[in-house]
Every structure is written in structure tokens, then in C-alpha cells.
Structure 1
Amino acid sequence: MTIQEYEEKLLLLIDDGIDTATDDELFAGGYLRGHISLAAADCELENEAQLSAMKEKVEQSIADTKSELSPSDYVLVCQMWRKISA
């Protein structure tokens, strides 16, 4: 699977849950979309093809912006990331 295919898969997982998602899940999914797309773009710029590198970039990006979120929102985002990236 390529980075682009993985990005599309992750975004589709988020989108597929919109109809039944709670407000918290909608927030976490929307928040993650930007981190996922940014990580995929970074990988493309760096000619990085390893999915593990993209996952690490998303996780680092989430960690870097932890201070932007309340503790409970941070937990929601991390839970959503673990759910869709598994």
C-alpha cells in the first residue's frame, strides 16, 4: 500500500463514520484529517514510502499540538487515531 492509498483509507474510515458519529467522534475525526493529510504531504516531499514513517509523523504531529487541546479532547483524538490506524 502506498502513502497516498493509506491516506485515502484513513480519510475514508473517518468519513464512513460521519452519519453515526457522536459530536466527540466528529471533532476527533475532523482534527485528525489535517494531521493525516499533512503527514502524507510531508512523506511525499521527502520521497518517504514507508507507512510506518507516515504513522510516526501523524503521532508526532498530534503530540506537538497537544497544548492546543483540552486533556479530554487529546484523549479523544488519540483514541480515534488508534482506532483508524490499527
Structure 2
Amino acid sequence: MGSSMDFDQLVEQLETVFDEAVVSGTDDELFASGYLRGHFDLVVAQLEMAGETQPENIMPALREAVHKTRHELSPADQAHINNVIDKLALKATNGNAA
């Protein structure tokens, strides 16, 4: 979709967001990143199994997976998770942007 980044490259880029949260994130960022990492890994595996490895499929699939489990989260936790999703979306859009 106008990007030269392939699926695997984007997965690696987005994984750095989770890694950064472990190293330097607040407790809330660490929780949100851990919660999302499980969803992220599952979404990536499902897309790979379905043969839908276009980079633009990752964020919509992740948002949908998280939306289905919103009832598990408090409003505050939802806000933290949305912040991490926004970071992931920004990184997905901008490539090397921090």
C-alpha cells in the first residue's frame, strides 16, 4: 500500500514498541504492552496461517481482536491500551518513526 515494508519487517518494527515498554515504560505501559503483545502474536499467527500477510492487515486485525475483549478491561486500562495501539499505528504508518 505505497510502502516498501513487507509483513515480516513491519512485525519486527512493531515488536520494538513492546520491547521499549519493557525497558523504559511505566507500569501502565508495561501492562498495556503485555496485554497487547499476546493479541499481537495471535493476530500475526492467524494472518500468516490465512495467507493474508499484507502489512496493512496487521493494525485492523489487532484493533478488532482487542475490541472483542474490551469487556475484560477497566476504562483506565482501555485508555492505556489505546495509547499503545496508537503508538503501534504511528510506527506502522511512519516506519522508523520513534
The one-letter code of the counterpart of 1:37 is: D
Report if the CA contact (8 A) 1:4-1:40 is conserved: no
Match of 1:15 in 2: 19
Instruction: State the number of aligned residues.
Output: 86
Match of 1:71 in 2: 75
Deviation at 1:73? 0.3
Deviation at 1:2? 2.6
When structure 1 is superposed on structure 2, of 3-12 and 31-40 the one drifting more is 3-12
Question: SS of the residue aligned with 1:48?
Answer: coil
Deviation at 1:49? 2.2
Match of 2:9 in 1: 5
**Percent sequence identity over aligned pairs:** 34
Given candidates 58, 64, 79, the residue that maps to 1:60 is: 64
Question: SS of the residue aligned with 1:18?
Answer: helix
5+ long unaligned stretches in structure 1: none
Deviation at 1:3? 2.3
Matched, 1:46 2:50: yes
* Residues 24-78 of structure 1: per-residue CA shift (max 9 Å, x gap): 0000110111111111111101111222212111000010000011111011101
The one-letter code of the counterpart of 2:10 is: Y
TM-score calculated relative to the size of structure 2: 0.79
Question: SS of the residue aligned with 1:17?
Answer: helix
Distance across 2 between alignment mates of 1:34 and 1:19: 18
